[in-house]
Amino acid sequence: MPKSSSDTSDSSHESDSPRKRVVSGPDDAMDLDDLSPAMVAVTCEHVQGLEHSTDMLPKYQKTLKWHSSFNSLRGPRLKRQKMQPPVCSSCKIPLRRPAVCLQCRFIGCWTREHVQSHMRESGHTLAVDLITGSIYCAACNAFEPAPLSLESKALPTFANKEEDSRKHKRLTYKSWQPNVIEKTALSSANTIPCEVRRGFLNLGATCYMSVILQAFLHNPLLRNFFLSDKHNSKLCGKLYCMCCELDQMFADVFNPSSTQNVDSGAGLSVGPLSLLRTTWQNSNDMAGYAQHDAHEFFITVLNQLHSGSADATHGSSCTCVVHQIFAGQLQSDVKCGKCGHINPTIDPMLDISLELKGVPNGKMPTLASCLRRFTEKETLPANAYVCSNCNSSTSEATKQLSIRKLPPVLCIQLKRFEHKSSAAKIDTPVKFPGIINMSPYTTAAIGMQVREGKVPKLDPATTYDYELFAVVNHEGQLNTGHYTNFARSQNEWYRFDDEKVTHTTLRECLQSIPYMCFYVKRNLDYGAASNAVPASMGPPPSAPSVANGPPVAAPAPVQPTSMKDISIVSKSTDADDSDTDSQTSEQ
């Protein structure tokens, strides 16, 4: 079939050429739209025999009906169904004007002459232009209009859906009101919870692992990452991959068919044997059936998650799941006591460790007061700092820490274990809030307070609000203790003691003695740097970013050469603990 000048375009999609035409020879073409009914009489004997064919006629009608799902000739355009357009069987280009062989299932394009090539190679004769319904005869090398009797059978196929669409009216919404029988059935029915709460089997002094895994399960950002198939364990070929282990754990726990107890909403316990084996294979320090520190296990798993992520890097802009969720930045400002020069240093962090040593007896410290002591100025020892500006070493140099970039999920550890000449545990209770505002501890707030000498007001305040979702507790002595934890699930609180799960309240959680607290940012910013933070509560998993105030929102997470360098950030405290929390929420 000859091509018009527009057919020579080599675009990525099928162009709207060729036009509808009758071809009597290689160089003779006329537009079908310009012809009268008398002029378009069928002259091809192959097309004339189509209307009497018991095999070809049904194929012709089914082909036009199938294409009506994508396009139509008459009336207003329907709302397109969510279907991919047909593609050429040869070049795989999406077709705006497809042609279908009536003797097989071949779909091809006109512009690249794949239809003609197919018919020459296969010996097939007839193909249909799905836009016009006209028929191409390869034997005559001509387009022919469909016979009138055939067209009368095919036309309703195009118009049926549009006619039904015009007749169909949107139903008026009516709320369901149960009748007497339905009310009786509902009152006696068992309530099936939407989410299964499952504990973890103790595999031999593995309570430290159970509490961290529960914190991971109830982390909304980490949960959304794995449940949205960001890492598929069935497609990953790595051996002893921690990402695969967590992917399988989330799939097992959130599988509604995982032997759920209908009455209590609790499922059978999970035995994380494979995850434990993977931890041992990747970390010699954690290998063996011995009691380990929960915080140490937390950092170990984060390291292994980072190593197993496909997009992990060792640069300053790592976008692996660990840095998207847990990574923040600390700023350390060292001020020379002689010339006043300030030397700032920015370090990455995955969590914050707060000292409890030095708290006055008889006073209950608060999490807010511990954070204030963490960000207070401290005097450096003599000759510990040499100023880069005046090259002097003075005993009056001061150092002050502040949080330059807040992470989406904030993990705070209270350092209760001492390992000096003899191991000891600090059992001092710490009052912690259900909601905490982190703005007073940011670099922007502390810098403003230093410059202006007053408490700064940062807007909006809700940008810095964090909400508690998990707490890890340690009971007993250092070497003979036991880990338990609290976690929030769908605004309900539960206490997890290995495989035992009990319903509780936020008030009971806040009255416990915390070892680790997990907070999630209440408001996430889906702004310009959209690749910094994963989606969490509402939007589909894409990649939101977190803004921490005008001066500190821009910096991206920083990844050091070794993640072990950023596992613990702490500071000694000797200040008074009389302050109260900035904000507390209880049930």
Instruction: Report the alpha-carbon distance of residue 258 to residue 265 in Å, rounded.
Output: 11
Among residues 338, 304, 264, the alpha carbon closest in space to that of 502 is found at 264
Longest dimension (CA), the chain: 108
Whole-Å CA distances, 172 to 78, 169, 175: 21, 9, 10
> Which residue in 88, 207, 318, 370 is the catalytic one?
207
Using CA atoms, how far apart are residues 447 and 456, in angstroms rounded to an integer?
9
Q: Is 231 a catalytic residue?
A: no
Q: Is 236 labeled as catalytic in the residue annotation?
A: no
Q: What is the DSSP string of 8-40?
A: G---SS--SPSPPEEEEETTEEEEGGGS-TTTT
Dump the DSSP string for 503-542: EE-HHHHHTS-EEEEEEEESS-B--S-TTSS---SSS-SS
Q: Which of 46, 124, 341, 482 is catalytic?
A: 482
Q: How would you label 257-269 residue by residue, b for 16+ Cβ within 10 Å and e otherwise?
A: eeebeeeebbbeb
Q: Tokens in use for 152?
A: 């009368």
Q: Which two tokens stand for residue 545?
A: 């970013």
- Please name the residue ranges forming H helices in 123-271: 148-167, 180-188, 207-217, 220-227, 242-253
Tell me the DSSP string of 260-317.
B-TTT-BBPPB--HHHHHHHHHH-GGG-SSS---HHHHHHHHHHHHHHH-TT--SSS-
Rounded Cα gap, residues 285 and 494, in angstroms: 31
Phi, psi of 35, deg, nearest 5: -100, 145
Q: Residue 577 carries which DSSP code?
A: -
The set of catalytic residues is 207, 482
